[in-house]
Amino acid sequence: MAVKCNVGTADRIVRVVIGLSLILFGVFGLFPGVWRIVVPAVGLVAIVTAAIGYCPAYRLFGLSSAQR
């Protein structure tokens, strides 16, 4: 089963910037408790979805930022 790209170029750039920011916020301890783990994990997910060009949440809601 092939995965169809549903994340466009601008969306990928935004995801990488936000993902790196969240990872850095977590690494430098700007969030207390469990959030110190959760926030960087969300950042990592954003970077992975940008790298592969596919977002399962977009698929779930029938969205796409990729050019057709």
- Quick one: which of 22, 10, 67 has its CA closest to 47? 22
Tokens of 33: 């408790």
Per-residue pLDDT tens over the stretch 28-41:
988 899 999 999 99
How confident is the model at residue 1, as a pLDDT? 64
Indicate yes or no: pTM above 0.95. Answer: no
How confident is the model at residue 4, as a pLDDT? 86
Q: What is the mean pLDDT of the chain?
A: 93
- Quick one: which of 51, 42, 52 has its CA closest to 19? 42
- pLDDT band per the 50, 70, 90 thresholds, residue 3: confident
Average pLDDT over residues 63-68: 87
